Structure 1
Amino acid sequence: MTIRTRRSLAAGAGTVALLIVAAACSSDDPASQTGGSESAGGDLTVAGPIPIENLDPHGAASLDAGTQLAARAIFSQLVVSSGPGEFEGELAESWEPNADTSEWTFTLREGVEFSDGTPVTSADVVASFERVLAGDGPLAGNFGGYAAAAPDDSTVVFTSGTPDAAFLGKISSFFVTPQAAANEGFFQEPIGSGPFVVESFEPGATLQLAPNPGYWDGEPALDSLEFQSIPEVAARMTALQTGEIDITWAMPDDQIAQLKSDSNLTVENVASPAVFTMWMNSSTPALQDPAVRRALWQAVDFESIIGSLYPETGTPADSPISPAVLGYAPQEPVPYDPEAAKAALDAAGFDYENTVIRWQFSQANFRNFVDAVVSDLAEIGVTVEPMEKEQAVFLEDLLALNWDMNLQQLGTQGFDAATNLGRLYTCEANRIGYCNEELDQILAQAGSTSDTAQREDLYAQAIEIIWDDAVGMYPMFVEQPYAWRTSVEGFEPVSDGVPYFDEVTVSGD
């Protein structure tokens, strides 16, 4: 029997498998399991690349990497994705779709409690799901037309107006909170059923956690877990090498060789579902024409930029989604040809003199990449204004379409194209000012069939439209680099850049 732990799920997250919609799925009973070792596990300090600004996993920051990182420590998911089409239960003991996958019934694991001792029931699941829908944040885009019901304390039924074979991938980003989460101020000191409890939280600075003694999968061995925000890359690398922090990830490639030479550190790259994604706002007058957007793409020498800046972690992309994701379909790369790009812009009547493209991003490690792209576009007379924003402002402006170009490292939750393409590229989502009714129809079909081959074919059609219309530029597939001190034991890197820590211990340096 395979013992189910969060760590075992995380370790398998990079595997690739065919999508299987099973008649019923289940995970092992954790009754005989224990958490970490019984000896004291030490104090662990972590600094990821994105600050934790918000602990609410249901609202506008629901899919923000910082919020997801905190949520995995504080709350529990119904199911966890361990690869395309591979899922294991967390709060859910089993699940079953109806014949056309328009209804999914989940049975909850018995005996799970929130950290205040109250039981986790189906009513909490329904209340959490309704908060997601009411909040109208990024996660809500996965669940248009859905409703949830609790026929009894241990059963939850999710119903959609249309078939949805991709539902498990979508729900793997969903966290369950108590019904009291609707109260104002709840998420300053939230109560969850995850492995850790909140001791203090300063948004954008520090999140201090303690082990949850009542955690259903066994109390973590750590004495404490602290997340720090260190936005400057150099400062974060120094903090790792001096022992101020114990684990970090998403390091710049030019730092990896130096980190590998430090005998006090372990450095490892893992395959990732992430893609450097440069959306172009199709509602911006200067960018409404696909020919203009494609010309801008053609004007940037991405292959040289990637080779220079990302020799350790970057590979030129040929699709908006990673090869690790179900639905990946390679496209013909856009060739670098600045002369052809300039000619295409001229033919389209591009107004060089009066057009300034506002390009927003939020992570300091993007700066060199941004500068290189801005330089290439300047070579053909296109003016781009880089706008580095704090994460909270970036997210607010992202949803408000207050940008012309937007850069982010975009993953695919659940390793299923439905949670990327199906959520972000529809007319209803209006995430990039782009609307294509033909694309909408294809994405709707792809999300409503349980036939894997048919889904892959439909996503290939959708990707071709997105690529040819140059809805964005998709320069690079990303490997995820991690580094941790040798005093850290039991840490498993994960492909999505949102690791778990309940199996980790820290020994003396």
Structure 2
Amino acid sequence: GDMGEAWLTDHTAGAGPYVLKEWSRKISVVLVANENYWQGAPKIKTIIIQDIPEPTDQLLRLKKGDIDIAWNLTAEQANSLKGSPDISIVTTPGQSDEYVGMNAGWGPFKDVRVRQAVKYAIDYDAIIDKVMSGFAINNQQFLPVGYFGYVENNPYSQNIEKAKELMAEAGYADGFDVELVTNTTERRRTEAVVVQENLAKIGIRAEINVMQASQMYAKFREQGLQMIIAGWGVDYPDADALAHPFANHRVKQLAWRCVWYDDYAADLAEA
């Protein structure tokens, strides 16, 4: 209830391997080993988590030896550390998705064949290599690796001829114009350029419109975008946290914003 949430604003409650010792807002958190942890006290007795929001600052402090672990470095920064004798780079599949969203209620995208053509037009490997510097995987589903229900299956790869055939079948052999919206981050802008170049190969003339994130998402929530490049993170590590946004239009999140009203998919998400 509200009282419980208010209490947790300045207190902790849990049975994990560490106990909160100190908390300085926007500065640091100090955790100490829970000697009563049910799996035994952890070997590392103290963990200090510092609030260093800028990846560049994290990188500098890591190189100087002021911190032991830097988290959320950019791909370029991580690659710059390769070969460093005193630093190890550890990677693991993440829990966030980069996606291209199409408004299934707008113009040419009403035809599923056009939406499929877009999927065949995109060079996924190029995005991973050029935009993500190799720190990403091709995962054509909403579930991250390791989640319940995850199946390793990527049915789409770049096939320009197949994409052109689908465009012709749908009556768009000469292509069409579309507004491709993304936000101001460098990665998303670069990603948009790659997608724009890919779409041009099948006659889709995408005009990139870079917006502030708040403006972009406000318009997206009103079903006001034709095409979008954005990302989605996981609220909690369970398939349910992603099935509803991506597949259930009734909750008015991603599926609804893209005007994808598939009742069968929604029923499966609610099952």
Q: Give the structure-1-normalised TM-score.
A: 0.41
1:416 match:
238
Q: Secondary structure, in 3 states, of the residue corresponding to 2:181?
A: strand
Return structure 1 stretches of 4+ with deviation > 4 angstroms: 210-213, 235-246, 263-266, 307-311, 351-354
- Matched to 1:296, the amino acid is V
Give % identity.
Answer: 14
* Distance in 2, Cα, partners of 1:387 & 1:221: 43
User: 1:392 matched to which residue of 2?
Assistant: 214
Where in structure 2 are the equivalents of 1:268-417 lying within 5 Å? 268-310=90-132, 312-331=134-153, 333-350=155-172, 355-417=177-239
Counterpart in the other structure of 2:15: none
Aligned to 2:268: 442
CA 1:323/1:264 → structure 2, altered by over 3 Å: closer, same or farther? Answer: closer
Residue aligned with 1:268, SS: coil
Greater fraction of residues in strand: 1
The alpha-carbon distance between structure 1 residues 262 and 280, as it changes in their structure 2 partners (threshold 3 A), is same
Higher helix share: 2
CA contact (8 A) 1:361 1:406 kept: no
- Does the aligned pair in 2 maintain the 1:325–1:412 contact within 8 Å? no
AA aligned opposite 2:51: E
SS at 2:172 equivalent? coil
1:251 paired residue number: 74
C-alpha RMSD of matched pairs (Å): 3.6
Shift of 1:192: 3.4
Match of 1:192 in 2: 10
Is the CA contact (8 Å cut-off) linking 1:274 and 1:412 kept in structure 2? yes
Provide the C-alpha distance between the structure 1 equivalents of 2:91 and 2:54, rounded to a whole number of angstroms. Answer: 22
C-alpha change, 1:211 and 1:438, in structure 2 (3 Å) is closer
> 2:66 and 2:260 mapped to 1: Cα distance?
42
Q: Pick from 53, 59, 80: which aligns with 1:228?
A: 53
Structure-2 change in CA distance of 1:238 and 1:221 (3 Å): closer
Q: Tell me, which stretches of 5 or more residues in structure 1 are unaligned?
A: 1-121, 126-175, 180-190, 199-207, 446-509
Distance in 2 of aligned mates of 1:319 and 1:404: 21
TM-score of the superposed pair, with normalisation by structure 2: 0.72
Contact 1:274 1:321 in 2 (8 A): no
The residue correspondences of 1:202-241 to structure 2 (distance < 5 A) are: 208-209=26-27, 222=48, 225-229=50-54, 239=60
Contact 1:280–1:404 (CA under 8 A) maintained in structure 2? yes
Structure 2 residue runs without a partner (length 5+)? 13-19, 36-45
Residue from 422, 427, 431 that aligns with 2:257: 431
Query: Following TM superposition, by how much is the alpha carbon of 1:325 offset from its aligned partner in structure 2, in angstroms?
Result: 1.1
Higher-RCO chain (CA-CA 8 Å, sequence separation at least 6): 1
Separation in 1, partners of 2:112, 2:65: 48
Per the TM alignment, residue 353 of structure 1 is displaced from its structure 2 partner at its CA by: 6.9
Alpha carbons 1:277, 1:320 under 8 Å: kept: no
